[in-house]
Chain A
Amino acid sequence: GQNIDQPTEMTATEGAIVQINCTYQTSGFNGLFWYQQHAGEAPTFLSYNVLDGLEEKGRFSSFLSRSKGYSYLLLKELQMKDSASYLCAVLDSNYQLIWGAGTKLIIKP
């Protein structure tokens, strides 16, 4: 079966750095997406990785290791508005997106 694992919930302090991990086991791999979803709202696209390595975009970075079936999203200089769920999704060999359950990130002052 296809599976994506993320921690259910994480807590971090405003101004700090947090790393949200995602491990996956899918039938094939055509890329990995990270989305942010505020409560009651739609997911919004954050990043896409298809090759190994780190992609940096402002305060957010995403890392991929295809051999390990592993990715992480790194958030720096945390702000209260970063409190949200972060969804990891993998594009499988049939170009279907397989979604993780999401990690709820709580930012404390």
Chain B
Amino acid sequence: DGGITQSPKYLFRKEGQNVTLSCEQNLNHDAMYWYRQDPGQGLRLIYYSQIVNDFQKGDIAEGYSVSREKKESFPLTVTSAQKNPTAFYLCASSIEEYNEQFFGPGTRLTVL
């Protein structure tokens, strides 16, 4: 079955700790995205990547970092510099940047 996986579904961390969220896809998609979703708000783009070894900042990249060493993988690190990291994080991919995006199940991060 092709799809996007994110793990874990729920994650708890102490304030000041970095945490890495995983995102893997076996759809052979070139483009991958990370979004943050807060209650009552639309999805906000953190980072995106159109090709391996290349990525661009989205609207809210501060306090986050990514890597794209393999086509299938696009991990997101939430650093201690992110002031309000508690949120629902969604990873998505698309064949190319203008096609519909397919989403993973999401990771709900809670920073205590």
User: Could you list which residues of chain A lie within 8 angstroms of chain B, going by C-beta atoms?
Assistant: 4, 8, 30-31, 33, 40-45, 48, 87, 89, 91, 95-97, 99-102
Q: Of A31, A40, A44, A101, which contacts B41 at CB under 8 A?
A: A101
Q: How far is the CA of A48 from the CA of B94 in the complex (A)?
A: 14
Secondary structure dominating the interface of A? loop
What is the minimal beta-carbon distance from B87 to any residue of chain A, in angstroms? 13
Q: How far is the CA of A100 from the CA of B43 in the complex (A)?
A: 8
Secondary structure dominating the interface of B? loop
What is the minimal beta-carbon distance from A66 to any residue of chain B, in angstroms? 16
Most buried by A among B43, B45, B98, B102: B43
Hey, what's the 0/1 contact readout for B4-39 against A, CB within 8 Å counting as 1?
000000000000000000000000000000000000
Q: How far is the CA of A33 from the CA of B104 in the complex (A)?
A: 18
Q: How many B residues are at the interface, by size bracket?
A: 10 to 19
Query: Is the CB of B100 closer than 8 A to any CB of chain A?
Result: yes
User: Which residues of chain A are near B98, meaning CB under 8 Å?
Assistant: 30-31, 91, 95
The answer to whether B102 touches A95 (Cβ under 8 A) is no
The answer to whether B102 touches A102 (Cβ under 8 A) is no
Most buried by B among A31, A33, A99: A99
User: Which residues of chain A are near B108, meaning CB under 8 Å?
Assistant: 40
